[in-house]
Amino acid sequence: MSAGGAFGGTRGASPVPPEKGVFPLDHLRQCDLEKKDYLSCLKTSGHQSKKCHSFAKTYLQCRMAKNLMARQDLTELGFRNESDLEISGQENKERMAN
């Protein structure tokens, strides 16, 4: 017999939460409108998240404003600045032309 717990784990070891991805639920529905807009966009776009990028950004900004998640620069969450998008779009057009 092994001394470990169920499924080979050790008893008494406390779980460690992940660094990102866990934040308080919106029990008071403070960002409900933004969430519904994002989910509606996903549904109408065939669950293509790139098409709903602006809705996701608005939803995360709402959560940060209401202290439902830690304030963080949106570039760290995968969102680019609008000027960066314009520059990369121009570079892509130039590459396609060559």
Over range 60-87, report the average pLDDT.
82
Separation between Cα atoms, residue 61 and residue 72, nearest integer Å: 9
Is the pLDDT at 90 greater than 50? The verdict is yes
Collapsing DSSP to helix, strand or coil, 21 comes out as coil
Asked whether the predicted pLDDT for residue 91 surpasses 70, the reply is: no
Retrieve residue 70's tokens: 């830690």
The Cα–Cα gap between 11 and 73 comes to 39
What does the DSSP 8-state code read for residue 3? S
Label residue 81 by pLDDT band (50, 70, 90).
confident
Residue 3's nearest CA partner among 13, 14, 15 is 13
CA angle (84, 59, 50) in 5-degree steps = 50
pLDDT band at 14 (very low <50, low <70, confident <90, very high): confident
Distances (CA, A) of 39 to 35, 50, 52, 58: 6, 13, 9, 12
> How confident is residue 88, by pLDDT bands cut at 50, 70 and 90?
very low
**How far apart are the C-alpha atoms of 15 and 40, rounded to whole Å?**
35
